[in-house]
Structure 1
């Protein structure tokens, strides 16, 4: 007997089938709670999701919790200093184990009936359960977890995409020199955007809007790195940017810092893109004066002008690695019209606040940019809900990465909902 296909699944398939390449998505992709449920099942439930950085759990027993959809995930550093991930659910009667976003424990103790687990998820104590109870069958449910150069990814699927290994092999040489494991978290800011998570990601994947909306961010970005129509008016600026990038790539590569673009955003299950790009003016960091935010450089760097290594992953993150600090962004859906954007700034673990850096200076550019982007995506959500909305065309010169995000999303949803 064939399983009954719901009307919503049929509608989702129809919307996916008629998606017009080079155009934004139809309104239900941003508005429908049913499609958000499908996103949670097929995108956030079956792919590698970026959730944290290792400096958030520096010591054995340190933990964080990550919530998205109906899922709560507990990420902990065990006694062997390995990163573990579990569903944040007691195996007794389902109580949430850890309510705080972060903390430190010796063992994991359920607050309800004190079932106690070690940091490997093994059930240690469960009182009054009788002689026939086998504690070995009631350990915490593990979640697949991988650290890529200190960036923590999880996958809820029973069989996660195997091509994470390809990304790790290609990206480790880029990320490893920055030694994220030797960093500490200097600041973390959560904001809630009143929009669909896909609008947040689409906004990130282009800088068509940057000159008009991000005066703090564009101080450090070469204008012609945003993407421009290659006409006579822009030819000189575009060529200068290419020349500056090529010269810096040669210099950085000679220092053992891979810099060339890798782009697999829409042709792999675990899609990603990376490139090290020059920073304008002083050329050191994404700050208001483009000089380093922390005088204590990362790793053993001595040259502060190492550009910005950008790393984008599907479906929910982007990162910038510089000589003095690292900033990471995680996007997690709350509902069809609400999205959590979590920004984390890391500096060298020996950097001293108030001496080597100030949090205000470190975070100024991206706090301003995040606030501006929040306004933009919330206006987009309002506009998409208007009955006059219809998918509009992407610029082939400035919105190519938006198209790749949508291609990836539509392709994965088609594959997983057929």
Structure 2
């Protein structure tokens, strides 16, 4: 075994991560090394981030031919671009000549993709158009940009770095699309986008998102509209929150009635543990007026998305393993993507979308639109940073999850199953 590990460092790293998983107590948080060990991190990048479907953005971020965005993950830079035929495509952001990056990180718009090094030029469909002094004996058709697998579901864009991506997203898409379609992301635009680097492991970022056990005292802005009893069963609701929970049940019944009348799907669809593309989607009520993420729950954008006429549609909440959660409301959409940077640093990108014809300063105010989630993200960053410090402490012993943290347990079980499936 020693000779094998010396000759194959990756095998040694995989043995290492399996050893930690084998010592995990079911129903408890992960051993500290799974949040801190650089070898574990490298193994996760190889086994998960280079092989699973990852949320990278929305069609609203590339609305016109030549518009592009980049998504950097696992050492790779992915270029997502709308081509001249209106098709959204993805390519490796690597010139086929000597490997230079074609575009800098971020968003932009081009007529053609021109490498700044030697002026090799590619069409928006990835084909090579111009290469100075290239020998006529070389087949230019073989020198197009290398494609990256891309799937668009209801306006959400997912990519996979795998040479042969699994088909699980395609199977899930039919269950998901009808929930997203009423919001017409193809007729939306970006109102704001904020990148926040959290000082914690990517799994801690996801775990923090997967429960609202901390919301009552941790997110005063969010819980103006996000019911504090979310995730609790009837027998777990404390007396001090009974009035909040009764209000939630009333709002839920009213929302279900509205959705049924409008033909908008709302029921829970959840498959978070066993499948590679683990996901959960459901339409849920908001507190207060029930329209948007504002202090009183009233709408933040005057122009509703798509052809929606009723602003009181709560929030359609959608999250996917391993890197996204999304809230779709009648007046706007908020998307969140997670990208691991190092064992203890994670990029969280938040994007706010509004109707393409909504006018800033008339139909919405950017500061008001983004206020609740900017505050919530900063609060979550503090929770994640403090937890990262704790799991790195020799005194850390994994603790038990309670019922309100069942989605955290689902995520950890998914993580365990996906790692084992790839080793």
TM-score, structure 1 as length reference:
0.96
Pair 1:121 & 2:94 matched: no
Q: 2:278 aligns with which of 261, 265, 271?
A: 271
**Which consecutive residues of structure 2, in runs of 5 or more, have no partner in the other structure?**
none
How far does the alpha carbon of each residue in 1:20-78 deviate from its partner, in whole angstroms, 9 at most, with x for none?
A: 21111111111112111111111111111001111111100011111123111111000
Q: Would you say the 8 A contact 2:229–2:237 is kept in 1?
A: no
Distance 1:233 1:37, change over 3 A: closer
Task: Find the counterpart in structure 2 of residue 201 from structure 1.
Answer: 206
Task: Find the counterpart in structure 1 of residue 253 from structure 2.
Answer: 246
Q: Specify the SS of the correspondent of 1:166.
A: helix
Q: 2:287 aligns with which of 280, 285, 290?
A: 280
**Cα separation, 2, equivalents of 1:231 and 1:9:** 39
Q: Would you say the 8 A contact 1:40–1:69 is kept in 2?
A: yes
Whichever structure has more helix as a proportion of its residues is 2
Q: Specify the SS of the correspondent of 2:286.
A: coil
**Which consecutive residues of structure 1, in runs of 5 or more, have no partner in the other structure?**
none
Q: Specify the SS of the correspondent of 1:112.
A: coil
Task: Find the counterpart in structure 2 of residue 143 from structure 1.
Answer: 148
Task: Find the counterpart in structure 1 of residue 331 from structure 2.
Answer: 324
How far does the alpha carbon of each residue in 1:154-199 deviate from its partner, in whole angstroms, 9 at most, with x for none?
A: 0111111212122210111110011111110000000001111100
Q: Would you say the 8 A contact 1:45–1:156 is kept in 2?
A: yes
**Cα separation, 2, equivalents of 1:381 and 1:17:** 22
Q: Would you say the 8 A contact 2:215–2:228 is kept in 1?
A: no
Task: Find the counterpart in structure 2 of residue 157 from structure 1.
Answer: 162
Shift of 1:17: 2.3
Shift of 1:301: 1.7
Q: Would you say the 8 A contact 1:69–1:335 is kept in 2?
A: no
Task: Find the counterpart in structure 1 of residue 419 from structure 2.
Answer: 413
Pair 1:17 & 2:17 matched: no
Runs of 4+ in 1 over 6 A off after TM superposition: none
Greater CA deviation, 35-44 or 195-204?
A: 35-44
Task: Find the counterpart in structure 1 of residue 410 from structure 2.
Answer: 404
Q: Would you say the 8 A contact 2:333–2:354 is kept in 1?
A: yes
Aligned residues: 416
**Cα separation, 1, equivalents of 2:307 and 2:271:** 30
Q: 1:223 aligns with which of 207, 224, 228?
A: 228
**Cα separation, 2, equivalents of 1:158 and 1:380:** 35
Task: Find the counterpart in structure 2 of residue 298 from structure 1.
Answer: 305
Q: Would you say the 8 A contact 2:225–2:287 is kept in 1?
A: yes
Distance 1:113 1:232, change over 3 A: closer
**Cα separation, 1, equivalents of 2:210 and 2:237:** 26
Q: 1:259 aligns with which of 256, 259, 266?
A: 266
**Cα separation, 1, equivalents of 2:13 and 2:297:** 49
**Cα separation, 1, equivalents of 2:183 and 2:387:** 36
**Cα separation, 1, equivalents of 2:126 and 2:325:** 30
Pair 1:375 & 2:382 matched: yes
Pair 1:40 & 2:45 matched: yes
**Cα separation, 1, equivalents of 2:54 and 2:105:** 21
Q: Would you say the 8 A contact 1:58–1:77 is kept in 2?
A: yes
Shift of 1:390: 1.6
Shift of 1:228: 5.3
**Cα separation, 2, equivalents of 1:65 and 1:385:** 32
**Cα separation, 1, equivalents of 2:36 and 2:192:** 32
